[in-house]
Amino acid sequence: MITANTPLGVVATEYSGATRILRSHGLDFCCGGNTTIGEACGENTDKLLSELQGLEKFEGDDDWKSRADSEIIDHIIKNYHAKHREDLPELIRLARRVEQVHGYHPECPAGLADVLEKLEEDLLSHMAKEEQVLFPAILENADKDWMSHPIKAMLHEHDEAGKDVELMDQLTNNFTLPEGACNTWRASYMNTHTFIQELMEHISLENNILFPRALGE
């Protein structure tokens, strides 16, 4: 049962459909996964709890806590790493086009393309380090004291990605389209919003399940 004392990370990783609701409230369920609903929402706690009522716990293929490290890592690489690498160039192109054509518009998300370019550069490096160093170490059951150092570095980089997400939310007014927005602007916001949702699910899976397990927590 979800209560005000339930951590956001638990809600995100144990209940189907929860990440969409948490994201709609602007809540950080990946890097801020240890924060409880009550701590995150304050006076709006009851409103969120009412929206979360009726969600079903993950079972079977969606229950990542019951899956082997190898399955989780394979899922992350195939469904998040590969997709981020594929999606980001197009997201940058769309954002850059919107800025070039609609720079005069008061709601134009000036700077969005630059943030996406920075995030792409950071993520490419981050994902390579995970695939080449950290993930093999986890699969080989490397010494937990040794693994604490690369995991700490990855968590810090997750925090930096979270700051980029916050900035994108600010630049786009939480991805609110202006009246009469063109198809390119619509595609930019829709696809970037989807990317952010997937990025947060990706980070949450690592922060709240894979990394704690690797450290024996």
Give per-residue pLDDT as tens, 96-112.
999 999 999 999 999 99
> How high is the mean pLDDT of the chain?
90
Q: Tens of pLDDT along 156-175?
A: 999 999 999 999 999 999 99
- Tell me the C-alpha distance between 153 and 179, whole Å: 42
C-beta of residue 38 within 8 angstroms of C-beta of residue 4: yes
For 182-210, the pLDDT digits (tens) are 999 999 999 999 999 899 989 999 998 99
Q: How far apart are CA 76 and CA 83, in angstroms?
A: 10
E strand or H helix at 46? helix 45-52
The domain spans of the chain are 8-62, 67-214
Which residues are CB-neighbours of 101 under 8 A, at least 6 positions away? 182, 184
Of residues 14 and 144, more confidently modeled: 144
Measured between alpha carbons, how far is 131 from 153 in angstroms, rounded to an integer? 14
Instruction: Name which of 57-66, 83-92, 98-107, 177-186 the model is least confident about.
Output: 57-66
What is d(CA 172, CA 169) in angstroms, rounded to the nearest whole number? 5
The partner residues of 36 in beta bridges, in order of sequence, read 7
CA dist 54 and 92 (Å) reads 37
What span, in angstroms and rounded, lies between the C-alpha atoms of 198 and 83?
Answer: 9
- CB-CB neighbours of 208 under 10 Å: 24
Q: pTM of the predicted model, to two decimals?
A: 0.80
